[in-house]
A = this chain, B = another copy of it.
Amino acid sequence: MTDTLSSPAKPRARRRSTGREPLTRDQLVASAIAIADAEGLDAVTIRRLAADHGVTPMALYWHVKDKDELLDAIAEHLFATMVLPEPSSRPWTDQLREIFAAFLVSVRPHPEVAGLAMTRIFGSPAGLEVTERTLAELRRGGFTVERSSDIACYALAALIALVRAEPACGPNGVKSEEATRAKRALLTSLPHEQYPNVVASSDTLAGRSSRDSYFSLGLDLLIGGIQANAPKRAAKSA
């Protein structure tokens, strides 16, 4: 659950009389993510984090310069959990899809913090890695340098949007469910003549459960769009 963050938890030479392990940056990041997942990003607060660890708010400033640096660290961790596919000689579109899928695998479980990723991709090595790999495949696909980077930006942004737009969204747990019901009720109660399609889709729009099909459709749209705009080297069939 705490994946790469969990540390041995062996009491390591407690320095003084405090009966508590010293905090670590990784612990802070881990519980920040946990709080965000459960109660939303707004619930992630210096003071809250401190309280959860039985410590004074100002203690955190030893491990982290800023709240912003904490958010950076969260984003970095998201990227760090990502396992990219080995480069291979398969078609560039297939490779791209796998890269994007890998990205989704690590971001999808944490929709609340996904938004942080957008502005912070270039801050972490792992983020640079995805970008590099994405650019490389786009170049292989024949796009110019400039178009490749535009597309890479779009693609990463779209993937994050895909995650954030997901229905299970809103802090996971209790209230999400009833919020979904309320939203559905609102949509079904709309004037049918004015919004026939919205009403017909109200189930799916209000909060379809976190379906794999939604994400694989997202990947299809993304890859399909890129492929459709790729320069054609030779006139292949179809």
Residues of chain A whose beta carbon lies under 8 Å from any beta carbon of chain B = 115, 118, 122, 128, 131-132, 135-136, 139, 145-154, 156-158, 160-162, 164-165, 183, 186-187, 190, 194-198, 200-201, 204-205, 208, 213-214, 217-218, 220-229, 238
Partner of A200, one of B145, B217, B225: B145
Residue contact B136 to A204, C-beta cutoff 8 Å: no
Q: How far is the CA of A165 from the CA of B222 in the complex (A)?
A: 16
Q: Report the copy number of this chain in the oligomer.
A: 2
Q: Known contacts A128-B190, A198-B135; is A225 also within 8 Å of B214 by CB?
A: no
Residues of B within 8 A of A145 (CB): 197, 200-201, 204
B197→A132 contact, CB < 8 A: yes
User: Contact check: which of B152, B161, B183 meets A158 at CB < 8 Å?
Assistant: B161
Q: Determine the main DSSP class of A at the interface with B.
A: helix
Output the least CB separation between A233 and chain B (Å). 16
User: Measured between alpha carbons, how far is A157 from B198 in the docked complex, in Å?
Assistant: 17
B-side contacts of A228, CB under 8 Å: 220-221, 224-225, 227-228
Q: In the complex, which residues of chain B have a beta carbon less than 8 angstroms from the beta carbon of A223?
A: 225
B146 and A204 contact, CB distance less than 8 A: yes
Pairwise interchain contact A128-B195, C-beta atoms closer than 8 A: yes
Known: A157-B164, A161-B161. 9 other contacts (CB 8 A): A131-B195, A131-B198, A136-B196, A145-B200, A150-B204, A151-B217, A157-B162, A158-B162, A225-B225
Interchain CA distance A196-B145 in the complex, whole Å: 11
